[in-house]
Structure 1
C-alpha cells in the first residue's frame, strides 16, 4: 500500500452482487425465492428513497422485495404486530425496519421484535451481542461493508490501531467490535471525547461515523493512514473532509461511491444467507 489507494466501494459492491447471482439462481431452482421485507413508517422523503433503492437492488438480483408502508401516526403496538406477522411469514427471510421511525414510536422495542434469524440489518441487541462475541451471522450492514472493503483491498488490520469516531448502536459500536475481533487495537471516540484530533492522529485506520459533514480534518490524519468514511450528509458529503484527508491518507473511501453501495450489497448478502440457512434447516 505504498501508493495512495482509492477504496472504490462501487467495485466491491459489484463484486459481491456478482457472487450472489449464482446463489440466488440456485435457491430459485430449489423453489425458494429470497425475500426481504422493508418496513417504512411515515413519509420521510430520504427514508422513502433508501427503501426504494434497497428494493430496486433486490429486484435486480432476483430477490423478492416486500414493501410495507405504514402511516406516520401508527402506534408502537401496531408496528410490533406488523413485525410479528413478518416473523411468522415463512416466505420472508429478512426484515428491515427503516430508521429513523417517527419520534412517538419506541424504535428500540420495534428493533428488538425482529426475529434473530431475520435480523439481516443487525439491529437487535441479541445480534449485536453475537457480533461482539465473534459468531454473529448478520452484523449491522454498514460495519459489515467497512470490513468487506478492508478485506477486498487486503488492508492489514491485525495489530493496527483503529480509531472510530462515533458510537451509534448500528455503526460505531459494532464496527469497533468487528475490528477488535480481527485483532486491531480499538479506540472508540464520541462527542464527549477530549483531545479528539490527537487521538485520531495516532490511528492506522480511521472510521468516520459521526454524522457531521467534513468533521474529520485533513491534519488529523497520520501520513499513510486508512480513512473509512461512513458518513452521508446532504449534498453527497461524508464525515471526513475528503480533499484534505486524502492528502495524508494512504487509502480512503470516497463519498459517494465508498461505503454506501457496499452497505446495500451486504443487506442483500445477509438476505441470501438467511434464505440458504432456512432451506438447509428444512
Structure 2
C-alpha cells in the first residue's frame, strides 16, 4: 500500500523561517539586528520535507497553506485571530512562496490550511478537489483504497480530524522511529465539543466563561443538561432571598448539554454556536473548491454522536 502525506505548509514555513533567523550584534556600533539567509531557510524546508517523507516511508506528499487574503471564520466572528499581533519571522512569506514554486503548495480560497487538510482527510477517496469526489463513497473516479493518507502538522485542532496523524517534531520515538496515531470519529467529535466549551486563547475565542479544557472534557464525558430552578436561601445574611439553583439532568443530547453550560454562564445558544463554528474544521462536503461555496456547521451534526 502506498503512503501519501498531507502536510501543513504553514507550520513548515513558520518553523523553518524561525530557525533560519538570527540576531546579529555589531559590537562596534552596538546595534543588534535580526537577519536571515534565504538559502539557509530553503535548506531547512527541504530537510523538513525530506525527513518527513523518509521517516514516514511515504511515496508522495502535497503541501497545503492558508489563503493569505481571506478567512471564512472572520465572517462568523470578526475578532478571530486578531490577537495575533506578534512579530513574524522574516522569511515566513518568502518560504511560503518557495513552497508554492518548488513543491506546488496551494490554498483554497477563504480557507486555512487546517480546513483543507480536514476536507481532504475526510473525503471518501482523499482526492477532494475533483467534481467526482463529491459523489461520495463508491464513486469509481474517487475511491482510492490502496493509498494510506497521513495528516502532518502541529496544530492541536488536528485532533478534530478523524484519520491517521503524525505530529511534526513530536511523534518521534527515542530511537528515531516516526510514529503515526489514529484519531477515531468519536475522538474527533469529542475534541470539537470540548473546544467549543473551552475556547482557544491562541485563536482568540473564549468559549464558555469559567470552563477550561479539563472541566470541558468532564462535561462532554458525562453530559447533563443544567436546568435553572428557583430556590430560597435558608441561611446567611441573605436568608429568605430568592435565588436560582442549577439542577443537573442526565442527557445524551450533547448540544443541549453545551448550551446549558453557556446559559448558566450568562451566555446564549448563539454564543455557543459561534464558538462551535470557530472550533470546527471543515469536513468533506462542507466546501466546494470549484464554486468556493461553504456550508457552516450546525448542531444537527451532533445527532448520533457517541451513540
Q: Same fold (TM over 0.5)?
A: no
TM-score category of the 2 structures, normalised to the smaller one:
0.3 to 0.5
TM-score normalised to structure 1 length: 0.32
* Structure having the larger proportion of residues in helix: 1
Q: Specify which structure has the bigger relative contact order, considering alpha-carbon pairs within 8 angstroms and separated by 6 or more residues.
A: 1
Q: Which of structures 1 and 2 has the bigger CA Rg?
A: 2
